[in-house]
Amino acid sequence: MDIVRIGRDDPEAFDSFMDLVGAVRLHDHPENRPPVRRLLQVMATVPSPRFRHEVDVAFVDGRAVAAAKLMVNLGSNAHVASAELIVHPDHRRRGIGSELYGRLAARAVEQGCTILKATTHEQVPDGPRRGTAGRDFLVGRGFSRTLSIVQRRAPVPEEPGSPDTPPAYDLRSWTGAIPEEMLEPIALLDGMINTEMPTGRVKREAETYDVEAIRRQEDWRALTGSDIVQTVAVHRATEDVVANTVVFVPREDPAHVNQAITIVRPDHRGRRLGTAVKRKNLRALKEAHPRARWIWTGNADVNVHMNAVNAEFGFEPVDLRVEYARDL
Ligand SMILES: CC(C)(COP(=O)(O)OP(=O)(O)OC[C@H]1O[C@@H](n2cnc3c(N)ncnc32)[C@H](O)[C@@H]1OP(=O)(O)O)[C@@H](O)C(=O)NCCC(=O)NCCS
């Protein structure tokens, strides 16, 4: 077995890795959001301002049979690494997962990480069947469960309706780059996300966002071939940006839209701003991307407010992405 780090100029290795990703999805979780090739390729080969991925692929007879992805945060939360391991269904229970895991954990330690996280798919009540190999594998390596994230999808409605905007606020939507005057307020608001959303047993430091970092993140995101649709709520009296929601639309597969951050500043919650920005964003999405069909989102099962907002938009659970963690 040869183990190779995915690099920028090895398209054949990447093709084989994508075949592996497809085979594992078909076997383990065919109902989940389809993988986006260009996003995976850029993640594996170009560090973003916020994280770096290393993807090691194991080849047998020139064919990818397993992969291990290590993600380390750059800047805030650099002590937390995340792992993702996949082994081709025809090559399981032969120690390949263990071997890749050993190398990956050693790399995380070398880079100064003290906590390793990993996720695996589990079943929701009445949802499609999910295997237990991932859980058993992780528990056997000293991981314990820290957080359950419910993966949901909703159809993009024919007519999203009008947002019921509370009178003290204005909503603004755009596609593409964030307007210059919005950068600083959005940096302030988005910086709260790590301390405001449930993160389970592994506590996260507030993220340091600044205007430069947002622009660099936008440049990186542009490489991934995704379009952005974003809506904010501006408080008229103070002109503060107090709510923000973002979706990403992959150009190679615009039917499947990914819901990213939604945040309302703590002192403006309970006024239905979360619902209003999401509804307005849905209208902007329909206008810019008429082929958008499904929106995918993942939220902690304990995030009752976000889940209540999502229920209004017809999101239905598909499965759980359960997060496990261990000290290194
Ligand atoms: C989890 C996964 C990576 C394991 O890969 P693998 O190459 O089969 O793992 P190994 O052969 O090294 O197994 C090591 C141990 O894990 C446990 N394990 C692995 N698969 C298991 C299963 N289906 N049932 C019970 N225990 C299992 C066993 O303790 C096993 O040791 P044993 O075979 O001596 O009993 C693979 O099943 C997979 O790709 N699953 C889908 C993705 C996923 O959930 N990844 C894990 C989290 S990132």
Q: DSSP label at 146?
A: E
| Distance (Å) from CA 14 to ligand 1 centroid | 23
- pLDDT number for residue 60: 96
| Distance (Å) from CA 74 to ligand 1 centroid | 29
Which two tokens mark 327?
A: 């000290």
| Distance (Å) from CA 270 to ligand 1 centroid | 44
| Rounded CA separation 293/295 (Å) | 7
Q: Which amino acid, one-letter code, is at 147?
A: L
Which two tokens mark 322?
A: 């359960």
pTM of the model: 0.90
pLDDT in tens, the chain (328 residues): 999 999 888 889 999 999 999 999 999 999 999 999 999 999 999 988 888 999 999 999 999 999 999 999 888 889 999 999 999 999 999 999 999 999 999 999 999 999 999 999 999 999 999 999 999 999 999 999 999 999 999 999 999 888 889 999 999 999 999 999 999 888 888 777 655 556 666 666 666 677 888 889 899 999 999 999 999 999 999 999 999 999 999 999 999 999 998 889 989 999 999 999 999 999 999 999 999 999 999 988 777 777 787 888 899 999 999 999 999 9
Q: Name the residue at shortest CA distance from atom 21 of ligand 1.
A: 133
Atom of ligand 1 nearest to the CA of 97: 7
Q: What is the pLDDT of residues 283-298, one digit of tens each?
A: 999 999 999 999 999 9
Residue 154 is inside which H or E element, if any?
A: strand 144-155
| Distance (Å) from CA 102 to ligand 1 centroid | 13
Atom of ligand 1 nearest to the CA of 96: 7
| Distance (Å) from CA 139 to ligand 1 centroid | 10
Which two tokens mark 46?
A: 């170009």
Q: What is the pLDDT of residues 219-249, one digit of tens each?
A: 999 999 999 999 999 999 999 999 999 999 9
Q: Name the residue at shortest CA distance from atom 20 of ligand 1.
A: 133
| Distance (Å) from CA 140 to ligand 1 centroid | 9
| Distance (Å) from CA 129 to ligand 1 centroid | 17
Cα dihedral 272, 192, 319, 29 sign:
positive
Could you tell me where the DSSP H helices lie in the chain?
Answer: 11-28, 37-45, 96-110, 133-140, 183-190, 193-196, 211-223, 273-288, 304-312
Atom of ligand 1 nearest to the CA of 134: 44
Which of 88, 84, 95, 67 is CA-nearest to residue 6?
A: 67
**Contact (Cβ atoms closer than 8 angstroms) between residue 92 and residue 28:** no
**Contact (Cβ atoms closer than 8 angstroms) between residue 48 and residue 217:** yes
- pLDDT number for residue 196: 59
Going by DSSP bridges, is the β-strand pair 144-155/294-300 parallel, antiparallel, or unpaired? antiparallel
Q: What is the pLDDT of residues 20-33, one digit of tens each?
A: 999 999 999 999 99
- pLDDT number for residue 305: 79
Rounded (5°) CA angle 46-52-54: 85
| Distance (Å) from CA 266 to ligand 1 centroid | 42
- pLDDT number for residue 35: 96
Q: Which domains does the chain have, with CATH numbers?
A: 2-113 (3.40.630.30), 155-319 (3.40.630.30)
- pLDDT number for residue 91: 98
- pLDDT number for residue 309: 79
Atom of ligand 1 nearest to the CA of 88: 39
Atom of ligand 1 nearest to the CA of 131: 23
State in Å, rounded, how far the first CA of the chain is from the last one. 27
Angle between helices 37-45 and 11-28 (to 10 degrees): 120
Ligand 1 neighbours (beta carbon < 6 A)? 24, 28, 83-87, 92-98, 118, 120, 133-134, 136-138, 140
Best residue for ligand 1 mutational test, from 119, 137, 141, 321 (most atoms within 8 Å of Cβ)? 137
